Amino acid sequence: MKNIYKYIWVLSLVFCCITCGKNDIKISRTIDEVPVIFPDYKDVTVPYNIAPLNFSYMGKEACRLIVAGVDDEMQIEGENGLFSFSGSAWKKLMERNKGGTIELAVAIQTGNEWVGYKSFFIHVAPEPIDAYLSYRLIPPGYEGWKEMGLYQRNLENYTQTAIYENKLTNGNCVNCHSYCNRNPDKMMFHARAEFGGTVLIRDKVIEKLNTKTDSTMSALVYPYWHPSGDYIAFSVNKTKQSFFNHHPNRVEVYDLASDVVVYNVHTHQITYSPLTKSNQAFETFPTFSPDGRSLYYCSAHAVDSMPKSYKKVKYSLLRIDFNPEDMTFGDKVDTLYNAPLNGKSVSFPRISPDGKFLAFTLHEFGNFSIWHKDADLYMVNLQTKQVYPLSEANSDDVDSYHSWSENSRWMVFSSRRTNGLYTRPFITYIDEKGKAHKPFLLPQENPLVYYKQLMFSYNIPELMVKKVEVSEHEIAKTLRYSKEINVTVK
């Protein structure tokens, strides 16, 4: 027995020597420059439960990171420029500095001395972010794909698992994943082409729906769950895409016609209001208010000569009453953002779960903002009706699809700011006044290498309070073999 203790003691000593063997450095002098790092985590605000924000110093020199929190300091040696936090040290750091700030200083070795860059800060918000993020990974293209899938990422570490991959159904297209109140117990997505249909999952019961009806122009497209879980608002769209000869946007995706309808998950019926299904307008991107009594959507005056007049299509932000008791609509429409008046076009209205703010994407024209370099995030304060840009979150490139966290303090959104084509998810803190703080790129174990090598775009990032538990096999089985439930019109 004595020998075993001796053995353990020696091992512990060796371990300590390995881990603590390098002496902490002392900075001889500092320079008045900020280091170039990737991702740019300088002065970002993060939730305390986020995975470690590893990053790379982009210079070639030997480097150290000195991290100072409220009551402790640690040093991390850069490996090929990469600073990797240990999971436990990071967790401790976040817990101790919740609501505060940590200071980070990058030091580089020049000759025998260590020179420090100007330090920067990471603000640790006291509010957590939802534990999971789901998204589709697709080639950032045009019409072709080979592999694509819906994935979920544990935001508290780096684990990514598949919700569904198209390899299980002969490489078909899967899209428009959506969850009721960010809870994947009630979720849906569409499968197109082979084994096509809408997959609707409620408490692990999977249905395959045929959502094309004689009264609607297409199968159901862009979804949003009613907070009760009884309904899903959808748009129906005749969508086309064309390619520019030289425009930096490269592609324009546009509707020739579109409407908004509401689907009842119990009766498998859809209904609509003449105000949301008009021949004089293109209605799309529906979203319910958190109390379930309002339906917000985008609407543009219908244009005949599409796509030649694609620039004339500008979507306003509208609201109509919805009565969940009998699935009926109000008889008047409110306008929150008037496109003809203001000259721009609205996409993806999303209301914070506390009902105070409505975030949307604003761009020059059309509705498919991911291909619009000018697309930016905007906010409506629903109490004051004030509309303003989320300047801290926006960039010179595309900033588009967004999703709120359960506590209304975090918003994840798609951005092409890193290279102009491959969409990446950024997370921004929204304070109580509805102001965005500088966003941070979704953390990875080695973000520089990971994002360099990833040949897919993150599409439709959606925050989730927990993991999707339904097996891929069950979904594939339903898509392949289950009889479709035909959706009808009420």
Partner 1 sequence: MGFRNKNSVLLGIGFILFFVLGCYIKETQQYALFYREQQQLFLFDLIYIGELFRQPGGFAILMARFLVQFFYSLWSSIVLTTLLLALITLSVWLILRKIGDYWYAFPLSFIPGLFFAASLLDNNYHYEGVTAYLLMLLFLFIYSTVFKRNKRLRLVLGCIFTIVLFYLAGSVALLFAISAFLFDCLKKREWALLSSLYVIFAFAMGLVAVQGGWLGIYTYAYTPLCYYEATVTAPFVHYIGWITLPACMLITGLVGYFAERSRYLQTVVCLVIVITGFWSFWKSYHLNMNANLGAFYQYEYYTVNEEWDELTAVSAKNMRNYNGANYLNFSLIQKGVLAENLFLYPQFGPASLVYIPKDKTPDVRLAHVLFAMGNMGAAQNVAFNACQSLNGYNPTMLKMILQIDLMRGSYAVALKYIELLEKTLHYSEWATSQRKFLFNDGQVEQDPVLGTGRRDFPNEEAFVLFDSPMDDLYKILDTNPSDVKAMQYAISYLLLAKDINHTKEFIEKYYGTPGLKSLPVPAQEALVFFYDYYHTLDEAYAVQHGITKEQLADYQRVDLDYCKNHGVTQETFDRFAIFKEAYGKVRQSQSAQSLTQYKNTFWHYLLFVQI
How far is 237 from 220, CA to CA, in rounded Å? 8
DSSP 430: B
State which of residues 168, 221, 233, 380 lies at the interface with partner 1 (CB under 8 A).
Answer: 168
Q: Which of 96, 238, 250, 293 binds partner 1 (CB under 8 A)?
A: 250
- Do 135 and 153 form a contact (C-beta atoms < 8 A)? yes
CB 314 within 8 A of CB 339: yes
Output the smallest distance, CB 245 to partner 1, in A: 4
**Residue with smaller CB distance to partner 1, 265 or 470:** 470
Does residue number 243 form part of the binding site for partner 1 (CB under 8 A)? Answer: yes
Confirm if 201 and 265 have CB atoms less than 8 A apart: no
Q: Which of 187, 93, 269, 275 minimizes the C-alpha distance to 468?
A: 187
Q: Does 352 bind partner 1 (CB under 8 A)?
A: no
By the 10 Å C-beta count (0-12 exposed, 13-18 middle, 19+ buried), 337 is classed as buried
Contacts with partner 1, 108-147, as mask; x by CB under 8 A: -------------------------------x-xxxxxx-
Q: For partner 1, which is the closer residue by CB, 135 or 263? A: 135
Q: Using CA atoms, how far apart are residues 447 and 87, in angstroms rounded to an integer?
A: 16
Site residues for partner 1, 175-234, by CB under 8 A, read: 194
Nearest-angstrom CA–CA distance, 72 and 110? 27
- Min CB(139)–partner 1 separation in Å: 6
Among 68, 265, 476, 487, binds partner 1 (CB under 8 A): 476
Interacting span for partner 1 (CB under 8 A) from 88-96, 97-105, 314-322, 419-427:
419-427
Q: What is the CA radius of gyration of the chain?
A: 25
CA distances from 21 to 18, 92, 112, 248 (A): 5, 22, 19, 52
Least Å distance, CB 250 to partner 1, is 7
State yes or no: residue 471 binds partner 1 (CB under 8 A): yes
Alpha-carbon gap, residue 208 to 187, rounded angstroms: 12
Q: Which of residues 370-389 bind partner 1 (CB under 8 A)?
A: none
- Of 290-329, binders to partner 1 (CB under 8 A) are 307
Residues that bind partner 1 (CB under 8 A): 139, 141-146, 162, 165, 167-171, 194, 242-248, 250-252, 307, 418-422, 449, 452-453, 455, 471-473, 476, 480
